[in-house]
Structure 1
Amino acid sequence: MELFVGIDMGTGSSKGVLVTVDGEILASEQRAHTMSLPHPGWAEVDAEAVWWADVCAIASTLVARVPAGSSIEGVCVSGVGPCLVLTDSELRPVRPAILYGIDSRATSEIVEMTELFGAAEILSRCGKSLSSQAIGPKIEWVRNNEPEVFARATRWYGSNSYIVAKLTGEYVQDHHTASQCDPLYSVREFGWNTEWVDRVLGGLELPRLAWPSEIVGRVDARGAEATGIRVGTPVVAGTVDAYAEAFSVGVRHPGDLMLMYGSTMFLVQVLADYHTNPALWTTTGVQSGTYALAAGTSTAGSLTTWLQTLTGGAPFDVLMREASAVPAGAEGLLVLPYLAGERTPVFDADARGVMAGLTLRHGRGHIFRAAYEGISFGIRQILEMFDDAATPVSRAVAVGGGLRSPVWAQALSDITGRTQLVTEQTIGASYGDSLLAAIGVGAVSPETDWATVASEVPPNPAHKALYDDLYGNWLQLYPATRDIVHAGAQLTK
């Protein structure tokens, strides 16, 4: 029996699955990990001690569960991104990996690089404006602030491409991850921005490009010894976790949208044609020659986890009962969920959380419901921008651990007016990785889709008028408080 291993390195944990050619999961494994927040606005991970250690442990466990007479025929790894892993010539990281848009240290470099290349030209070529999500300014930050570290670096990786190198020795970047490494990649042309590469990389080598399901190498002796996967097993390029997750739930056709409920919220929509909006991210898709539109918040599940800890650490089911008992609209309480700054659509690293309308009548359940509603108002704001794209949203599929909260899922459907589809298999990006591996080695056709819709979350029309009014009020919170919270943000620096 042919089997495939998919492993995903998320923000709070890494997950792996062992899957048959028909999409049946035979085994799964998970390891929790944490990121480091050494300074305000910084978010880092030790790529070797966390990501590589997770992959080795998970792979070894899955290999031990391979049934007699079966064999692993392909491997794919995805991870958070875009991230910056700088290594020396021996593949040793020279500093902790700098994470995706939740790391906002390179604010001045974003301004300088935008002035250098031109905002309009960057948007036209890269499909998005430079933001805390961009890799180019983060490379520049290391060069400016840690010159002795940068001098030791020879290559740069994302989370998944670093693991590919550890498994195979190959230096490669998948097209999708590359399309988020602004301003290094031209999304419209599916290739490196050759005119800008030398200025941005400053001597770092440029990896070759491959599509996420392409075989880019085979497990070598060192990779086999560390993971237990046999020497010679094909490894495909993989990609950023959110896009692997979208692939796993059948978000494959123009107009398809994935709503990912996690530590942050991430949205991916497949486009029919190239389209740009300075408040959104246009990237390549997972499949060869395709485009996607994306957006991401800076907090979501991380906000409610923080609230859970802050309010005494009550069990999740208790908190959900309390939030469910509160009427829609949380009796006038509004939350602006910008506790870690915000990415889409305001791109403001100094944005901060706001709670408006708080009274002595409000309890813990009100705060939790208002937090879920505040996150959902932000998603409505993003989806209105998606609808203005060349390919309006026609189908929304919900994924992620946040679906454990019925309050959150229902609030989002009510506030956005969208029915959300939930698939039978919701294990996440690692499942999509397995499918990419199976496609890559030719075990299944490129059109294969393992996703089956199991349930729906339709909007409650009784809440529409209330939420429309509250949304109008919520939209005013950020501009009304921006100057105040910016002043406060300076006190944390």
Structure 2
Amino acid sequence: MRCTLGVDVGTSSTKGVLVAADGAILASATRAHDVSRPRTGWVEMDAAIWWDEFVSIARELLSVHPDAEVVAVGVSGMGPCVLLADEDDEPVRPAILYGVDTRAGAQIERMTAELGTAEITRVGGSTLTSQAGGPKIAWVADEEPDSWARARRLFMPASWLARKLTGAYVLDHQSASQVSPLYDIENEQWHDPFWEQYAATIAQPSLAWAGEIAGSVTDDAAARTGLAAGTPVITGTIDAWTEAVSVGAHEVGDLMLMYGTTMFMVFTNSVATGAETLRTPSMWTTAGAFPGTRNLAGGLSTSGALTAWLKDLTDADYPQLLAEAEAAGPGARGLLMLPYFAGERTPIQDPDARGVIAGLTLEHGRGDLYRAALEATALGVRHNVETMRAAGADIRRIVAVGGGTQGQLWLQIVSDVTGLVQEVPATTIGASYGAAFLAATAIAADGEAPLITDWNPVAQTITPDAALRPTYDTLFDRYVRLYAATADVVHELAADQRASTGSAAHTRPTTSSTISTSEES
């Protein structure tokens, strides 16, 4: 039986799927893992976990279907991450994760001063924030000189798996465009002057598109994984973009909402049609997963992580919490939450933001808190959507994906708060499925590539309740004002938290990186 294998390394787990030629999922496997948070603002992971879990998943899936002929392998992973390895491909330190890791504030400030915001944006498309890979590379050079002295190669989870499987040293364009400011987004290549200034001792990875073949499974990797030597492996990309592929949300005008540990949003436009590359200081401009495309992207630092925190805190299960949250009703009986429990990425770009719960009384219960958390993430999505539209994004279609789409209440709240119709596909397993699809298309003969609409048709449509629009318009106004009103105190508390853990200081955002209501409209 001919099939493809797709594996995605996420923040809280690695997932793999074995997919038949018609898109049917034959088997799936998951390995849960934890990130390391050694200091406030630091989020790391041992890269050995990524490869070990790939090997374990591949062997499990092949044992379930011993008759499976894996004809191609798809890889994907969280990002942008910074994993530096020596000349023997041994990591010099744990991988520094994406925008939830906020350690490089001083480097962001220094690089911005050295290069200038206008030049950084011209070359890379985006201003430097905690999401950018370049400042994290600079942080290792500044703070860990012994590690830096040994560093010779740069990887992310997908490219690390491709390296382990094939020996290829390659990074996809989309991931590379988030190693800001070291990638030239208009010319789709590394920007040599900035690379020489900040990463001169690191060899530049070759660049390819996500669905292009990076190489073939080596004899050694075959012995480890059970895959056949010579099996093609795609280059892969960051999980949010592979998730967009998995639901067909990568056409011009599409917006993908990824419900996961964090919330991610990707809007696609095409420079091939003559459209401009959209830029705004409060969002991320990136290359797309495919040639000729560009993305305007955003992300919340917590979404599923916030609901999981409340579940653990209250010692209740999800069905209980969802039932109580539904009973609480719109507005959570007068509660309003800011979901910035791990700082915030877009659009406020504030690593020192923290969670705030306003309106608490002794009458409120866990269901009210859970409802407020769901509404907080929805309000965060609306904040991003309105910022994208203000930057010129013509959003024509919304597609939801990820584990959070299994909860009908959360989906409905997001549609009610944003006023957006969401399409939910039949399969929402996410990036691993998208990686398997990219692998299938990579080896298909001309004119025979599968269509994601055949693999994964729309299963349901979530329509906003127009009667709730005034309620959520008011709540959104309060949401934006609550951040502005509490920011000074919260920043002081964040400084105290860093001091208590011995964390390196980082700089608060400048006024220009904070978006007000008037700037969005």
TM-score normalised over the length of structure 2: 0.92
For residues 203-242 of structure 1, the aligned pairs below 5 Å read 203-242=201-240
Q: Which residue of 2 aligns with 1:11?
A: 11
| Native 8 Å contact 1:124 1:276 kept in 2 | no
SS in 1 for 2:350: coil
Q: Which residue of 2 aligns with 1:325?
A: 327
Q: Which residue of 2 aligns with 1:56?
A: 55
Measure the CA separation in 1 of the matches of 2:88 and 2:388. Answer: 43
Measure the CA separation in 1 of the matches of 2:89 and 2:212. Answer: 22
For residues 4-403 of structure 1, the aligned pairs below 5 Å read 4-48=4-48, 50-68=49-67, 70-272=68-270, 273=275, 274-311=277-314, 313-403=315-405
| Native 8 Å contact 1:84 1:159 kept in 2 | no
Measure the CA separation in 2 of the matches of 1:64 and 1:187. Answer: 43
The amino acid of 1:60's aligned partner reads R
SS in 2 for 1:258: strand
Q: Which residue of 1 aligns with 2:457?
A: 452
The amino acid of 2:198's aligned partner reads V
| Native 8 Å contact 2:6 2:74 kept in 1 | yes
Measure the CA separation in 1 of the matches of 2:448 and 2:95. Answer: 35
User: How far 1:447 moved relative to its partner?
Assistant: 7.0
| Native 8 Å contact 1:254 1:391 kept in 2 | no
Q: Which residue of 1 aligns with 2:428?
A: 426
| Native 8 Å contact 2:92 2:150 kept in 1 | yes
Deviations 1:252-297 (A, max 9, x none): 2111111111111000111133111111111111112211111001
| Native 8 Å contact 2:405 2:428 kept in 1 | no
Q: Which residue of 1 aligns with 2:438?
A: 436
User: How far 1:325 moved relative to its partner?
Assistant: 0.5
Structure 2: give runs of 5+ residues left out of the alignment. Answer: 499-521
Measure the CA separation in 2 of the matches of 1:343 and 1:244. Answer: 20
> Residues 331 and 149 (structure 1 numbering): CA distance in 2 closer, same or farther, change over 3 Å?
same
Percent identity over the alignment is: 48
| Native 8 Å contact 1:257 1:397 kept in 2 | yes
Deviations 1:156-189 (A, max 9, x none): 1111101111111111111111011111111122
Measure the CA separation in 1 of the matches of 2:329 and 2:39. Answer: 39
Q: Which residue of 2 aligns with 1:412?
A: 414
Measure the CA separation in 2 of the matches of 1:301 and 1:435. Answer: 25
| Native 8 Å contact 1:84 1:158 kept in 2 | yes
| Native 8 Å contact 1:299 1:337 kept in 2 | yes
Q: Does residue 501 of structure 2 align to residue 492 of structure 1?
A: no
User: How far 1:445 moved relative to its partner?
Assistant: 4.5
User: How far 1:451 moved relative to its partner?
Assistant: 2.3
Measure the CA separation in 1 of the matches of 2:121 and 2:448. Answer: 35
| Native 8 Å contact 1:369 1:407 kept in 2 | no
Deviations 1:39-61 (A, max 9, x none): 1100011001x111110001111
User: How far 1:67 moved relative to its partner?
Assistant: 4.9
SS in 2 for 1:382: helix
Structure 1: give runs of 5+ residues left out of the alignment. Answer: none
Measure the CA separation in 2 of the matches of 1:386 and 1:483. Answer: 26
| Native 8 Å contact 1:78 1:244 kept in 2 | yes
User: How far 1:64 moved relative to its partner?
Assistant: 2.1
SS in 2 for 1:74: strand
User: How far 1:404 moved relative to its partner?
Assistant: 2.9
Q: Which residue of 2 aligns with 1:2?
A: 2
- Indicate the RMSD between aligned Cα atoms, in angstroms: 1.3
Measure the CA separation in 2 of the matches of 1:404 and 1:216. Answer: 34
Q: Which residue of 2 aligns with 1:476?
A: 481
Measure the CA separation in 2 of the matches of 1:167 and 1:91. Answer: 13
Measure the CA separation in 2 of the matches of 1:388 and 1:2. Answer: 46
Deviations 1:374-408 (A, max 9, x none): 11111111101122344411110111111233222
